[in-house]
Structure 1
């Protein structure tokens, strides 16, 4: 459990520093001033078309490919360990996307580019603060684009089952991808750093819960089968 809880504690501390101590605004203001007090990169072709739209399309293709691979493994009668690992990874990835999307609607929050101090027309409202009636709804928390990387943190558990020596590298790769995609959106004024941290924590928690729940159920089924076999014998 240390492997699961330690990252969550670190992410929780980072979220506190960024959100509660306003380091979010320090980073956002630096990026805003760097672009001449406007979000020059907001509609830039590289940031918008390539690193946002095309990356999103690529992620969709990866999810479809993983789904097809899982179906093929099932009908081809491949290794049960590999089938379970693929099914768990797919469940983790889809759950991360679904939960992040749901929370964006449940916890409406403004993006930096919506705020008065960053060229927008709205004041800042805290995460759980009530908003005046008629305030536009912005779906900026948690970060959706960063979830394209962080949802694949489940690759760590996938490789724990099928290729343990690759697990750490897979974890680092998914985390770095999430951070880079989050940085793309921060540079456009679409998110604060704390939004990405929250997404990372959500995805890591979901991937961990799904993996260990499956392990526990598998262990229970195995022990139950063994006990039944002894009784029948």
Structure 2
């Protein structure tokens, strides 16, 4: 069965995110939908976001969840560094150091990191570039968070990102667009492209899980008044495009669009049933 065409590949991975960006721009940035959503979350009595100063909610939804992307990035950095160690020892298998590594069973870990060096380096680079893109956009648009604006008791005027955008100079002190916490969850999209490269059968399930994680990360900040809902969508769009382009450079289109591997165990019963009874093993 022929795999997806080049056209389908770019329509899915580039066309759909750009279409989503246009929808978000028209639906949120050019309307008051963001403010309508945030207004629904206000406490009518106090006019404040009830979860804004809730320390337990802050810890559970903001501080603890960062552990997952942070540890993923740190492990990728450590694995990348270790991947350059084993080839040096493998060249001298009879040396004392090589024998010690095999005795302590560390050699297996080092061999594993060497085998997946490209994937580890990809995760490191994808994380770094995604973070860089988000920070660049934050500093060059100077969008203030809802609770920092006069709409919700703050002192700053509300502005859309395109009203104050600057390519080269920092636009101001605002740092709220796109959503930073949401982007930290979306950075795990790098794992999806690693799964696609290795044709893992559950890659799409991983994609759905990461997208949901990013949405949850972003939505919790909306509940606190620190972001508008569109900030989460923009974070996902920019992280996807950055990670996808990085994966394209690391792996190439053919590796990323190859069909998932079919588990041989799932086909075994069908093959046995199709075999004549006289030829089946007893």
Name the TM-score class by shorter chain: 0.7 to 0.9
Partner of 1:2: 11
Structure 1 8/46 Cα, relative in aligned 2: closer, same or farther at 3 Å?
farther
Partner of 1:180: 216
> Do residues 157 (structure 1) and 166 (structure 2) align?
no
More divergent stretch after superposition (2-11 vs 154-163) = 2-11
- Structure-to-structure mapping, 1:125-164, within 5 angstroms: 125-130=159-164, 137-164=173-200
More divergent stretch after superposition (192-201 vs 64-73) = 64-73
Partner of 1:118: 152
> Do residues 54 (structure 1) and 88 (structure 2) align?
no
TM-score between the two structures when normalised by the length of structure 2: 0.69
> Do residues 107 (structure 1) and 141 (structure 2) align?
yes
Larger radius of gyration: 2
Structure 1 19/173 Cα, relative in aligned 2: closer, same or farther at 3 Å?
same
Instruction: Measure how far apart 1:48 and its partner are.
Output: 1.7
State how far apart, in whole Å, the 1-side matches of 2:213 and 2:200 are: 21
Higher helix share: 1
Structure 1 58/164 Cα, relative in aligned 2: closer, same or farther at 3 Å?
closer
State how far apart, in whole Å, the 2-side matches of 1:140 and 1:148 are: 14
Instruction: Measure how far apart 1:24 and its partner are.
Output: 0.7
- Structure-to-structure mapping, 1:1-233, within 5 angstroms: 1-5=10-14, 6-33=16-43, 36-74=46-84, 75=86, 76-78=110-112, 82-130=116-164, 137-216=173-252
**2:145 and 2:174 in contact (8 A); partners too:** yes
Number of residue pairs the alignment of both structures matches? 216
TM-score between the two structures when normalised by the length of structure 1: 0.82
Structure 2: give runs of 5+ residues left out of the alignment. Answer: 1-9, 87-109, 166-170, 256-282
The alignment's C-alpha RMSD in Å is 2.7
* Structure with bigger RCO (C-alpha 8 Å, 6+ apart): 1
Q: 1:70-108: per-residue Cα shift (whole Å, max 9, x none)?
A: 333443344876321222122112211122122211111
